[in-house]
Amino acid sequence: MNNVFKFLKELKKNNNREWFAEHKHEYDSAKAEVVIFVEEVLKHLSKANPEFKEVQAAKTIARIYRDVRFSKNKDPYKLNFGIMLSPKGRSVDGPGYYLHIQPGECFIGGGYWMPQGEALKNIRQEIDYNAEEFKKILHSKSFKKFYDGLSEEDKLKTAPKDYPKDHPEIEYLKLKSFVCFHALSDSQFSDKATPKLVSDAVAALKPLVVFLESAVAQ
């Protein structure tokens, strides 16, 4: 994966279309290495999760081109390889697993980032109705091996509508995203054991993803 990090570091210094066009072959080479890595992850995942057997590694990787239409940042390219490890493909809108490869900022994680409308309402309702099941997932040995808990980014400062401020699970109900992350070092991507580690981290997240999927399917 050395070419991957080398390319992304150079892209950070030269985030423009002219440079990218001249170095497109380097991008293609880096992406090919990411595909090989993801194929190894999927091999491990498929052993216990048959739904991953038909997933094509190349189709899990997000486009590197940024949508700059509504952004003040007009840099045309992302500085990472984003991988949606989902049987539903990279365009999945809902709970899932995500691998992020970026120099100094790599991680594996998942859950449901910023659910909207009915989805958010249903997740909060499911936590309200089945709090013990939800907490059992977050406190399980397999989950805690990789994750410190749910991210509190963009958490509400007050109780959401329809819930009292003294609700026993109010801190979970204030969340606007239900995601967690396990940091990875750049050097780990040169370790042959890392695809298995990523697979194990995904497996540890599966009960949470299933809980969230069940909630939004209501």
- Structural domain spans, the chain: 2-216
Residue with tokens 């992304």: 8
Euclidean distance between CA atoms 81 and 202, whole angstroms: 18
- The structure's pTM equals 0.94
Buried (b) or exposed (e) across 18-52, using 16+ Cβ within 10 A?
eebeebeeebeebbebbbebbebbbebbeeebeeb
Residue with tokens 């090919």: 32
Residue with tokens 């399917």: 217
- pLDDT band at residue 68 under the 50/70/90 scheme: confident
Euclidean distance between CA atoms 202 and 218, whole angstroms: 24
Residue with tokens 């580690």: 197
- pLDDT band at residue 2 under the 50/70/90 scheme: confident
Q: What is the pLDDT of residues 103-114, one digit of tens each?
A: 999 999 999 999
Given a cut of 70, whether residue 86 has pLDDT beyond it is yes
Round the CA-based radius of gyration of the chain to a whole number and report it: 19
Judge contact between 186 and 106, C-beta under 8 A. yes
Its CATH class, for the domain covering 2-216, is alpha beta
Query: What is residue 92's predicted lDDT score, i.e. its pLDDT?
Result: 67
Per-residue pLDDT averaged across 81-105, rounded? 88
| Neighbour tally for 5: CB within 10 Å | 20
Per-residue pLDDT averaged across 74-94, rounded? 86
Query: What is residue 165's predicted lDDT score, i.e. its pLDDT?
Result: 94
